[in-house]
Structure 1
Amino acid sequence: MTSPVQALRTVRLGAVIARADFAAFYTWKTWLLGWLIRLVFQVLFYTLIGVLVSDPDFTRHIVIGAAVVTCVTETMLATASTCWDRYQGTLGSLVASPVEPGAFFFGRSLQWPFSAMATTSIALLAVPPFFDVRWALWQIPVLVGIVFLTSLSTYCMTLLIASLTLVHDQARNVIGSMAGLSVIAICGAMVPVTFWPLPVQWVAQALPVTHGLAAVRLVEAGAPAGGVASSVAVMVGAALVWLALAFLSFRMVFARARTGYGALS
């Protein structure tokens, strides 16, 4: 059993790779003028649906939802980056080592939730004011804090999906895209969760972003702090369950590979 200190060290070493990958992907110019602009226009695209139906309330609903779920779009990239070690030829060494695989892969793709915190915060604070959503100054740090936790919580969910792409790596992009679109569809971003049949609503309640988005909407509505804190607490609790399942799944994948029943190389 890996000790907490060893697990944290493994996360840190994985994060070194994440930082190097992100630096290889982006400069500040390409991140700002390429990636960020893309996500802002994604928020605008969804918001224009509300504008087209000429319903101001629906427009406000969509612009907040579309801004928050940009973190889903970005953290889902971990389904692909989890497989990169396989193509770089280093995954075999990881399987042979005594490393805690869940801890390593948690650090391995940390570039995505941290980038998502920035992109989602900017989208949430910058775009809604153009559609009659005004943020008070005191709300800004609260919203940024919720976005921080929502991005990390969604990342915990993504890691479980990523453990499956490690086995079915050729479908990694399809799995990530389908999972991301499904989460965005049912989490309450575009339509209320209650729009869906009851079984779908149950699934939505298991998604961390559902509760993060609910917390943001409560802040926008000026709800009491207790209600906001309750939504955030449920989100964090759901994230911890997803993370525990992800660690278990990674262990199973590595154990299967170590016994020769599932090749990872």
Structure 2
Amino acid sequence: MAKASWLDYAAVYPIKTLIASSVPRAVLQPLFLAYLGYLAGGVAGRRFAIIGACVHIMALAAVIKAADVLTEDQTEGTLYRIRMSRFGLPLVHLTRCWIYFLEAVASALVAIVGVCAFFGEWALMGSLLQGLPLIVLTALSTTAFGLAVAAVTALHPASAVLTNLGVYALLVLSGIVAPVSALPTPLQWLSRVLPLTHGAQALRALADGRPWVSYAALELLVGLGWLCCGLLFLRHNDRTAREFASDGS
């Protein structure tokens, strides 16, 4: 299954496509968000937004592209074969997500190098690159969140809209450009159970020389929670499809 995931990914996203589309977006989107941070809070706001934007870019692969896999299976008429396999939909889709996790990590690294070099933030670049384990942890939690999003939205007729809404929700609620404390209290509570929130806080703490382990632990807990939700949602989706003989959501 892991090899099939790679072959499928390579067919949809060949190297030329990645270089021409994914790489520029991995730099340009964080640049745009960094300028928003600068307009809102000067140099400090820009630094805050750079870190958040370099984390948020991972959601494009871990949430949107990973959900597209199920949508394409349904369109091509191959989803029922996955349901009939002895592994079942949850395990198959979880295994297929590894390539999007790798793309998420690579996107974050490209964003860090490109954006920090553009603004001459060499010290920040070094700190964030040293935080690679935190980036990997955050990519894992975001991939787990993407698993849950895919289970709920990927088979819906408006799947593209719904998955993008999930990514934009992370942008607004996870403290990417503005601190979580700027949100209304109910939304602050919601942000604590979303991926990226604690991962971005951990990277900011690392860059500032502050303790970051507690933030990393919270990101891990959030990721485990979303992993359980994603597998349960996929299992429910699978069971419902079998019961009603339908691949619709």
Question: Given the two structures, how large is their TM-score scaled by the length of structure 2?
Answer: 0.91
Q: Would you say 1:246 and 2:222 are equivalent positions?
A: no
Contact 2:60 2:167 in 1 (8 A): yes
Q: How many residues align?
A: 247
What CA distance in whole angstroms lies between the structure 1 residues aligned with 2:47 and 2:129? Answer: 20
Query: Which of 23, 34, 38 is the equivalent residue of 1:36?
Result: 23
Residue 76 of structure 1 deviates from its aligned partner by 1.7
Task: Specify every segment of 5 or more residues in structure 1 that has no aligned partner in the other structure, as ranges.
Answer: 1-12
* Structure 1 residues 243 and 98: alpha-carbon distance in aligned structure 2, compared to 1, 3 A threshold: same
Report what 1:212 is aligned to.
Answer: 199
Q: Partner amino acid for 1:109?
A: C
Q: Partner amino acid for 1:214?
A: Q
1:1-265 to 2 correspondence within 5 Å? 13=1, 15-52=2-39, 55-77=42-64, 78-131=66-119, 133-135=121-123, 139=127, 141-168=129-156, 170-223=157-210, 227-260=211-244, 263-264=246-247
Deviations 1:71-115 (A, max 9, x none): 012212222222221122221122233323211111223322211
Residue 183 of structure 1 deviates from its aligned partner by 0.7
Deviations 1:161-202 (A, max 9, x none): 10012442x111001111100111110111100111111011
What CA distance in whole angstroms lies between the structure 1 residues aligned with 2:44 and 2:128? Answer: 21
Report what 1:7 is aligned to.
Answer: none
Percentage of matched positions with identical amino acids: 27
* Structure 1 residues 45 and 244: alpha-carbon distance in aligned structure 2, compared to 1, 3 A threshold: same
What CA distance in whole angstroms lies between the structure 2 residues aligned with 1:162 and 1:216? Answer: 27
Question: Given the two structures, how large is their TM-score scaled by the length of structure 1?
Answer: 0.85
* Structure 1 residues 44 and 140: alpha-carbon distance in aligned structure 2, compared to 1, 3 A threshold: closer
Q: Partner amino acid for 1:31?
A: L
Residue 249 of structure 1 deviates from its aligned partner by 1.0
Report what 1:8 is aligned to.
Answer: none
Q: Partner amino acid for 1:146?
A: L
Task: Specify every segment of 5 or more residues in structure 2 that has no aligned partner in the other structure, as ranges.
Answer: none
**Structural RMSD (CA):** 2.1
What CA distance in whole angstroms lies between the structure 2 residues aligned with 1:211 and 1:140? Answer: 15
Deviations 1:99-145 (A, max 9, x none): 23211111223322211101111212331244353337973553222
Runs of 4+ with deviation above 6 angstroms: none
* Structure 1 residues 95 and 136: alpha-carbon distance in aligned structure 2, compared to 1, 3 A threshold: closer
Query: Which is further off, 213-222 or 129-138?
Result: 129-138
Q: Partner amino acid for 1:70?
A: I
